[in-house]
Structure 1
Amino acid sequence: MAVEPMEGGRAVFIDKDGTLIHDVPYNVDPRQVWLSGGAGRALRRMKDAGYKLIVVSNQSGIARSLFKEKDLLPINRRIQTLLAPYDAKIDAFYYCPHAPNDGCECRKPMPGMILRAAKDYAIKPQISWMIGDILHDVEAGNRAGCHTIHFNNGNETEWVMGDYRQPVYSVRDLTEAADIICH
């Protein structure tokens, strides 16, 4: 992917399934993609505040042979279509295609996707944010050096706390996240 780096930029890294869009496990049907409540307006506010919007998503369905990498493209297009009325285009989509036990550095809770995007876009993690609905998202953001927001929508079921798993903030929706980020 060709990118034009922006010196010292900042970003909001956003988990996809369960945060940006409603969680439908292993979904590759664009007709089942719907934005989380308030997502369009919230992302527009983040854009207006000067943040790049970068999706970082674990997609182990690829490693599990449930779908192919190319099957994610229509999902990404659908997200962009849903965000278009808000002029809140996602700047980049990053995903980890590996299974949970593959030992890669890109699968959350590891920070690989965030660090790669930060390098690709000259983003400074320390002035950036990570928003996600489970503590693996929070841990990835903290490990990368970002401020973190847990989108507490009930998807986190384990609540295993530890180093890097404490969010800076916890919110009920992306509107609340935008209030914090854009204060």
Structure 2
Amino acid sequence: MAVRIRATTPRPDHPGTEAGSVVLRAPAATWYQDGAAGPLLRIPRHPPPAAATGTPAGAGAPRAVLFDRDGTLVEDVPHNTDPARLRPRPHAREALEVLRAAGVRAAVVTNQPDLARGVLTLPQLEALQARMEELLGPVEVTAVCPHLPEAGCGCRKPAPGLVHAACRLLRLAPARTVVVGDIGTDLLAAHRA
């Protein structure tokens, strides 16, 4: 069950959260929403272990890869609220393991309008996230747009808000990241960021 708390001061232990953010606690993580129109941001209570090498090779190598969830890391099952229906995409776990071994951080940036529709609840979203991480391993940050397509928010891909939010929490410039997705809105969000 999620608990909603209004933060009154910035959270120095979680960069990117500001006064007035909504803090949503679930068993495995803390979810923040930057104001009513911002994305939901998930930070695990127990961060993933450090990668074996610690830093990626090469000066131009990305420091993080921001993955779309549905259709990229896991099979796209429309309106899914059941973690048992979550299936990894071929080679997703292996790709994440290669990145982690190279010291490249992993994050998820995903549109989830079923939250606004009332089809998906925060506890269900957390259960889906926990199942995905059980199948694929941990991700450091998850940024979720909970708005309907017609809401006109700045976080729904193809807008750059999710990329910016994830980068803020990772303390990386967008130019030091790569976005991987399955449709054009993922690419546009990366380009606009």
Query: Which residue, out of 19, 22, 26, partners 2:72?
Result: 19
Q: Tell me the CA shift for residue 3 of structure 1.
A: 3.6
Map of 1:3-14 to 2, 5 A cutoff?
Answer: 3=14, 10-14=63-67
Q: Tell me the CA shift for residue 62 of structure 1.
A: 1.0
Question: Which structure carries more strand by proportion?
Answer: 2
Structure 2 segments unaligned to the other structure (5+ residues): 1-10, 17-61
**Larger relative contact order (C-alpha < 8 A, sep ≥ 6)?**
1
State the one-letter code of the partner of 1:115.
H
> How many residues of Structure 1 are paired with residues of Structure 2 in the alignment?
139
What is the SS of the residue equivalent to 1:138? helix
Matched, 1:102 2:151: yes
Q: Tell me the CA shift for residue 69 of structure 1.
A: 2.2
Query: Which residue, out of 80, 84, 92, partners 1:31?
Result: 84
CA contact (8 A) 1:57 1:95 kept: yes
CA distance in 1 between partners of 2:103 and 2:174 (Å): 14
CA contact (8 A) 2:69 2:109 kept: yes
Q: Deviations over 1:133-162 (max 9, x none)?
A: 110010001111xxxxxxxxxxxxxxxxxx
CA distance in 1 between partners of 2:191 and 2:177 (Å): 11
What is the SS of the residue equivalent to 1:36? coil
Q: Deviations over 1:52-79 (max 9, x none)?
A: 1110100000111212222100001001
What stretches of structure 1 move > 3 A for 4+ residues in a row? 1-5
Q: Tell me the CA shift for residue 124 of structure 1.
A: 2.1
TM-score normalised per structure 2: 0.67
TM-score normalised per structure 1: 0.71
CA distance in 1 between partners of 2:112 and 2:152 (Å): 14
What is the SS of the residue equivalent to 2:192? helix
Map of 1:1-183 to 2, 5 A cutoff?
Answer: 2-3=13-14, 10-84=63-137, 89-144=138-193
